[in-house]
Structures are given as C-alpha cells and as structure tokens.
C-alpha cells in the first residue's frame, strides 16, 4: 500500500501545484492553454521520439504480449466510442471519452510500479505497452478527432483536410521519424539524446500542472450528466480494461504468468494526461476528461493495491 502511495502522491502534488498557483493568481487564465501547447508541440513529441528511437527490436518484439494488450485496449476504446455515439455524443468527444477509458498512465506510473512489484523483467513489456498507448492508441484517437472536427467537409476535401492536419501533428510525426533509428540500427547522437531527455522529461509534470490549472478555472456547463459519464468512463478504465486484457493474455494467447501480471497491471493503471492534452489542444470540453484523470488516479490506489496483494499471494 505504501509503495503504491509513494508513486501516486507526487502525481497529486503536481496537480495541486497547478491548482494552487492558479487559485492564488500566480499564473493567469491563459496558462493552461499555453502550457498545454508546450507539452503538445515540444515536450511530448520529444518523449515519444526518445522512446521509439532507443527501443531495441529484441526488447519490443513480443507478439503475444503486443496482441493481448493492443486488442484489449482497442476493444475498450471501440466499446466506449459506440456507447457515446449512441448517446448522440459528437465524434470528437466520443473519441476523447474512449481515450479516457483506455489510455493507461503507463509512462508516468507504469515503469516505477512494474519495477517495484514485478522486477526488471517487466520493464521491456512496460515499454511495449507505453509505445502502444502513447503512439498507436493516440494516433487512432487523433485521426478520429480530426475526422470529427472536420466533419463540415465532404468527400475528397475531408480526406485532404484530415491528412494535412495529421501530417502537421507533432505527436504523430515525432514517433514516425524516430523509427528511422531502430530500423537502421543507427544510434541517436549523444547531444540529441540529452536534448530529448531534458525536454521529454518535462512532458508528464507539465501536463499534470496544466491539469491542476484547468481544475482551478471556473467550470463550464457540461452538455449532459457529466457525473454519470465520469463514473462510466472510470469504471471502464479501472475494471473493464484490465479484465479484457486478462482474458486476452490468459485465455487467448496463454502468456507466461509474468507477462500476464504485467499486462493486467498496466491496463489497470488510471487514465493518463494524454486525453486531457488533446481536449485542450482541440478546444473540446475538458472537464469530463480532467475529472476522469483525477478520480481514476485516486480510486486506482485501492484497485491496484488489491491486485498487487492478490498476485503476491
């Protein structure tokens, strides 16, 4: 319990720092969007580039784990999109809701938890899950959001508009360009690596502070029953996501126990800050997303602790 708390509490401290500075007026009303743009255009692309460029093919080529975690995550994503579209939710907002239900905080919480409770052998699968989450899942969500926000266009014009937006999106360009290094076997120059580490290291803390800044702003009226939606999305994230991944890992792909526990632990992590950054970037309603990050992180202290206690026994 204390090990989990020691990892989760600094996350809340960063959120509180943003909330506190905004409440006192130290940071102004534009700080949220400006800090978020820094994360989206600089810090997070550097982090994604660093992850992909330094990934060794031998470490990330575990097809059973890849399929189990990817399919489990995508099933939750698709279920959420379908549910929200049936509620007449806008396509872009439905995609953000689906991210809230399937985007695990693997980068910020996954590595320390996996190392502390499962050991060094869990780090490579954690890297795989991080790549799937922050690159593959993120890319799918961005494509759907772009289609949603460009819905006034039709036919070829819609395809061109969406393609142009995607090509200019640094969150997609950075990992694609970074694939050059693992595919060719070349090494990233040392000064570039230091640059990426410094800039990418700012992504998670700045995103959490931006979340705190957002929570300190005056609430905007949500279009419909936000508490019901938040409860649904948090339940999907903390219960359905790990359950489906467990089914995939055990019944479908029959993975070794260490890989099963790693996959389920990572799927059981709370919602990361990625959906919130996209909500702010595309100027969508962000209160549901911010609450999902906050409440899923808080509740996950209990759910993850129970799971870790169970697998230790």
Domains and CATH numbers, the chain: 2-312 (1.20.1530.20)
Tell whether the model's pLDDT for residue 214 goes beyond 60.
Answer: yes
Nearest alpha-carbon partner for 128 in 109, 102, 98, 106: 106
Rg of the chain taking only CA atoms, in angstroms: 19
Give the range among 242-256, 261-275, 283-297 with minimum mean pLDDT.
283-297
More confident residue, 66 or 118: 66
The reported pLDDT for the residue numbered 202 is: 87
Residue 104's DSSP bridge partners are 271
Residue 283 zone, left/alpha/beta (φ > 0; ψ -120 to 50; rest): left
The reported pLDDT for the residue numbered 231 is: 92
More confident residue, 251 or 57: 251
Crossing angle for the helix pair 138-149 and 63-86, nearest 10 degrees? Answer: 30
Q: Which phi and psi angles does 104 have, rounded to 5°?
A: -75, 145
Report the alpha-carbon distance of residue 228 to residue 36 in Å, rounded.
27
34-54: buried (b, 16+ CB within 10 Å) or exposed (e) per residue? ebbebbbebbbbbbbbbbbbb
Tell whether the model's pLDDT for residue 119 goes beyond 60.
Answer: yes
pLDDT, one tens digit per residue, over 215-229 is: 787 655 555 557 888
């Amino acid at each position: 319990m204390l090990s989990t708390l020691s990892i989760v509490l600094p996350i809340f401290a960063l959120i509180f720092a943003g909330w506190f500075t905004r409440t006192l007026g130290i940071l102004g009303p534009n700080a949220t969007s400006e800090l978020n743009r820094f994360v989206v255009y600089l810090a997070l692309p550097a982090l994604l580039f660093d992850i992909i460029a330094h990934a060794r093919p031998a470490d990330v080529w575990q097809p059973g784990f890849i399929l189990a975690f990817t399919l489990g995550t995508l099933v939750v994503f698709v279920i959420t999109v379908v549910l929200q579209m049936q509620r007449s939710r806008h396509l872009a907002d439905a995609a953000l809701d689906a991210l809230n239900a399937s985007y695990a905080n693997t980068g910020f919480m996954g590595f320390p938890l996996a190392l502390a409770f499962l050991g060094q052998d869990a780090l490579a699968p954690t890297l795989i899950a991080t790549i799937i989450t922050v690159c593959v899942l993120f890319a799918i969500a961005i494509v759907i959001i772009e289609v949603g926000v460009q819905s006034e266009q039709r036919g070829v014009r819609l395809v061109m508009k969406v393609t142009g937006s995607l090509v200019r999106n640094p969150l997609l360009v950075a990992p694609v360009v970074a694939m050059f290094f693992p595919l060719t076997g070349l090494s990233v120059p040392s000064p570039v690596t230091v640059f990426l580490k410094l800039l990418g290291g700012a992504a998670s803390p700045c995103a959490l502070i931006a979340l705190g800044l957002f929570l300190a702003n005056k609430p905007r009226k949500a279009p419909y029953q936000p508490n019901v939606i938040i409860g649904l999305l948090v339940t999907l994230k903390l219960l359905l996501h790990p359950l489906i991944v467990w089914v995939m890992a055990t019944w479908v792909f029959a993975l070794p126990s260490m890989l099963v526990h790693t996959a389920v632990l990572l799927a059981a992590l709370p919602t990361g800050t990625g959906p919130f950054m996209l909500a702010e970037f595309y100027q969508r309603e962000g209160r549901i997303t911010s609450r999902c990050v906050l409440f899923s992180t808080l509740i996950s202290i209990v759910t993850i602790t129970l799971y870790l206690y169970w697998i230790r026994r």
